[in-house]
Amino acid sequence: MPSKPSATCWQPPRAVCTQAHGKPLATRRLSTLGAECWRNRIKARRCYWPNAIAVNRRRYGRACRWPITGAFSRRARSGLLQNDEFKAKPMSELLSSVSDHLLAPGGVTIESLQTVLGDLAGPGIDAADLYFQGQISESWALEDGIVKEGSFNLDQGVGVRAQSGEKTGFAYSNAITLEALGLAARAARSISRAGQNGTVQAFSTQDVAQLYAPDNPLEVISRAEKVELLKRIDAATRALDPRIQQVTVSMAGVWERILVASTDGGLAADVRPLVRFNVSVIVEQNGRRERGGHGGGGRTDYRYFLADDRAMGYAREALRQALVNLEAIPAPAGTLPVVLGSGWSGVLLHEAVGHGLEGDFNRKGSSAYSGRMGEMVASKLCTIVDDGTLAGRRGSLSVDDEGTPTECTTLIENGVLKGYMQDKLNARLMGVARTGNGRRESYAHLPMPRMTNTYMLGGQSDPAEIIASVKRGIYCANLGGGQVDITSGKFVFSTSEAYLIEDGKITAPVKGATLIGNGPEAMSKVSMVGNDLSLDSGVGTCGKDGQSVPVGVGQPTLKIDAITVGGTGS
Q: Is 195 helix (H, G, I), strand (E, B) or coil?
A: coil
Q: What is the DSSP code (8-state) at residue 386?
A: E
* Closest among 121, 116, 127, 119 to 167, alpha carbons compared: 127
Count CB neighbours of 431 within 10 A. Answer: 7
Instruction: Tell me if the domain spanning 91-327 has CATH number 3.30.2290.10.
Output: yes
Distances (CA, A) of 391 to 411, 436, 541, 550: 20, 16, 18, 14
Instruction: Report yes or no: 29 and 70 within 8 Å, Cβ to Cβ.
Output: yes
What residue type is assigned to position 15 of the chain?
Answer: A
Query: Cα 180–186–190 angle (5° rounding)?
Result: 150
Residue ranges of alpha helices (H) inside 42-151 are: 74-78, 91-102, 110-120
* Closest among 33, 24, 40 to 341, alpha carbons compared: 40
Q: Say what the pTM is.
A: 0.85
Query: Cα 41–420–375 angle (5° rounding)?
Result: 110
Instruction: Report yes or no: 342 and 530 within 8 Å, Cβ to Cβ.
Output: yes
Which residues belong to CATH 3.30.2290.10 in the chain?
91-327
Instruction: Report yes or no: 220 and 82 within 8 Å, Cβ to Cβ.
Output: yes
Q: How far apart are CA 67 and CA 14, in angstroms?
A: 19
Beta strand 334-340 with 472-484: parallel, antiparallel or unpaired? Answer: parallel
Print pLDDT tens along the chain (570 aa). 333 332 223 322 222 233 333 333 332 222 222 222 222 222 222 333 332 222 222 222 222 222 222 223 333 333 443 444 566 788 999 999 999 999 999 999 999 999 999 999 888 899 999 999 999 999 999 998 899 999 999 999 999 999 999 999 999 999 999 999 999 999 998 866 555 666 788 888 889 989 999 999 999 999 999 999 999 999 999 999 999 999 999 999 999 999 999 999 999 999 999 999 999 999 999 999 999 999 999 999 999 999 999 999 999 999 999 999 999 999 999 999 999 999 999 999 999 999 999 999 999 999 999 999 999 999 999 999 999 999 999 999 999 999 999 999 999 999 999 999 999 999 999 999 999 999 999 999 999 999 999 999 999 999 999 999 999 999 999 888 778 899 999 999 999 899 999 999 999 999 999 999 999 999 999 999 999 999 999 999 999 999 999 999 999 999 999 999 998 876
* Closest among 549, 534, 522 to 442, alpha carbons compared: 549
Residue 323 is inside which H or E element, if any?
Answer: helix 310-327
Instruction: Report yes or no: 199 and 69 within 8 Å, Cβ to Cβ.
Output: no
Partnered with residue 495 across adjacent β-strands are: 479
Q: What is the DSSP code (8-state) at residue 266?
A: B
Partnered with residue 131 across adjacent β-strands are: 159, 260
Q: How far apart are CA 252 and CA 271, in angstroms?
A: 17
Residue 282 is inside which H or E element, if any?
Answer: strand 267-285
Count CB neighbours of 56 within 10 A. Answer: 4
